[in-house]
């Protein structure tokens, strides 16, 4: 496959071509998150609360897998742009080995810590039991998730976005179909409750990984996995982790933030914990599509950077920023106009709906500003500047928002915490652009 088109075709059309399949698959993935939570909420409000409390650890596992996948993607794209195909093959093979190791470790470690972790946020035995049931099954598929994401990032690195879209959508659609079947057990199927939701998630991830593997065998790509490429070269390993670790931390920090906010909000009411969990499900409709565009951007920036096309790198950044601003603007309007309708998808409790609608209106004030941070992080990862990207995420998820949320909570109660979101996004947007501008120079 000739990939020189990445540095030759007009930027806007190329970004759309690379991003559109990812955008579609991310929208389907967003729908899965909503449907999954919708059916779990039908079990009980306690089940939805349990899912919200498990989410940070589940997100941590995803962060490790996706973050390391970003490292694989960036290194492969760079070597392909530089014309070093053998080094690209070695990077992919070593990436698969390390990702598998990560999956095995996380499976056992996260299942072991879950009872103690959940006990930090609630003493309700029903919620604790439901959370443990869900996590024991969901976390058992960590290796399958690792394989899925290694193939995903490798296919994206060579520009096979349509193939990646098909594989991702197959898993998400299977998950959506299996949710009601395994949770409620219509006909001959047993009703598994919250365990069915976890099993549906794991089977969806497994299906995606299997389809990727079949595609790789039937229609080979120009990056190869193989025993002969299993050479532990220090330079490649260092590059993989130099981007992978900061990218993992970038995503894992959101888990830390959710846990910290759960602690703060639990001091006021469990309703606020519930609302926070619902918000993080709803916001996937914005940030996953935005991430789809970033995924299309990342290999383009990495390839052009490796090929020395620095003017194209600048233009790609500007065009992608405009696209994500448009997505965030639409999300802001929706959250301002029908927030109560969104919250009522997950609960029939009128007080909870009112509290959730208020939260969405406040939080949405920072959506547009967050575009700068999202694009800057992705662009810096594509350039191989993982530490600079981490600085932005630290500001966004730890350094600014947690102290602001604590202070506003003390001053105005639980409702004051929601203002920490938009305040943080505005401040971080300024920092993000400054960091990106100076790192690019």
Domain ranges of the chain: 10-440
User: Which tens digit of pLDDT belongs to each residue from 213-237?
Assistant: 999 898 888 888 888 888 788 888 8
Nearest of 69, 97, 255, 258 to residue 168 by alpha carbon: 69
Which of the residue ranges 1-5, 324-328, 387-391 has the most confident prediction, judged by mean pLDDT?
324-328
pLDDT average, residue stretch 116-140: 88
pLDDT tens-digit readout, 14-50 = 777 777 776 776 666 666 667 777 788 788 878 888 8
Find, among 361, 371, 288, 293, the residue nearest to 328 by Cα. 371
Q: Give the separation between CA 317 and CA 148, rounded to whole angstroms.
A: 28
pLDDT in tens, 226-280: 888 887 888 888 888 887 887 777 777 877 888 888 888 888 887 888 888 888 8
> What is the spatial distance between Cα 258 and Cα 219, in angstroms, rounded to a whole number?
41
Supply 194's token pair: 């919250």
Mean pLDDT across 329-344: 90
**What whole-number distance in Å separates Cα of residue 228 and Cα of residue 233?**
13
Q: What percent of the chain has pLDDT over 70?
A: 95
pLDDT by residue (tens digit) across 397-414?
Answer: 889 999 999 999 888 888
Return the structure tokens found at 153: 């990032």
- Concatenate the DSSP letters of all residues of 286-331 into one string: HHHHHHHHHHHHHHHHHHHHHTT-HHHHHHHHHHHHHHHHHHHHHH
The model's pTM is 0.69
Dihedral over alpha carbons 419, 281, 127, 186 (to 10 degrees): 160
Q: What is the pLDDT of residue 109?
A: 93
Average pLDDT over residues 161-181: 85
Mark 156-187 as b/e (b = at least 16 C-beta within 10 Å): bbbbbbebbbbbbbbbbebbbebbbbbbbeee
């Amino acid at each position: 496959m000739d990939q020189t088109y990445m540095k030759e075709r007009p930027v806007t059309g190329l970004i759309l071509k690379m991003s559109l399949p990812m955008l579609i698959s991310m929208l389907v993935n967003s729908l899965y998150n909503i449907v999954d939570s919708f059916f779990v909420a039908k079990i009980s409000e306690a089940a939805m609360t349990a899912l919200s409390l498990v989410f940070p650890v589940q997100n941590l596992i995803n962060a490790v897998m996706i973050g390391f996948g970003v490292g694989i993607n960036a290194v492969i794209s760079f070597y392909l742009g530089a014309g070093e195909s053998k080094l690209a093959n070695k990077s992919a093979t070593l990436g698969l080995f390390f990702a598998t190791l990560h999956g095995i470790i996380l499976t056992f470690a996260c299942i072991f810590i879950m009872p103690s972790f959940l006990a930090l946020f609630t003493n309700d035995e029903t919620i604790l039991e439901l959370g443990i049931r869900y996590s024991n099954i969901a976390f058992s598929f960590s290796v399958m998730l690792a394989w899925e994401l290694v193939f995903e990032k490798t296919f994206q690195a060579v520009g096979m976005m349509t193939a990646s879209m098909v594989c991702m959508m197959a898993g998400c659609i299977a998950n959506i179909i299996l949710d009601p079947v395994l949770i409620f057990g219509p006909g001959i199927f047993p009703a598994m409750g919250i365990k069915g939701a976890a099993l549906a998630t794991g089977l969806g991830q497994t299906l995606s990984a299997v389809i990727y593997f079949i595609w790789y065998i039937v229609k080979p790509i120009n990056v190869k996995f193989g025993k002969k490429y299993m050479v532990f070269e220090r330079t490649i390993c260092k590059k993989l982790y130099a981007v992978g670790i900061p990218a993992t931390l970038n995503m894992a920090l959101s888990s830390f933030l959710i846990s910290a906010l759960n602690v703060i909000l639990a001091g006021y009411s469990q309703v606020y914990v519930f609302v926070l969990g619902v918000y993080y499900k709803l916001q996937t409709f914005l940030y996953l599509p935005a991430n789809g565009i970033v995924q299309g951007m990342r290999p383009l920036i990495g390839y052009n950077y490796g090929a020395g096309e620095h003017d194209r790198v600048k233009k790609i950044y500007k065009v992608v920023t405009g696209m994500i601003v448009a997505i965030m603007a639409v999300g802001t309007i929706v959250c301002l106009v029908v927030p109560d309708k969104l919250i009522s998808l997950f609960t029939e409790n009128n007080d909870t709906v009112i509290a959730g609608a208020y939260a969405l209106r406040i939080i949405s004030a920072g959506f547009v500003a967050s575009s700068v941070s999202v694009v800057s992080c992705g662009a810096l990862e594509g350039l191989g500047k993982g530490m600079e990207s981490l600085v932005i995420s630290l500001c966004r998820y730890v350094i600014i928002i947690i102290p602001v949320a604590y202070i506003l909570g003390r001053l105005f109660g639980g409702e004051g915490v929601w203002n920490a979101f938009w305040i943080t996004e505005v401040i971080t947007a300024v920092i993000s652009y400054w960091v990106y501008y100076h790192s690019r120079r």
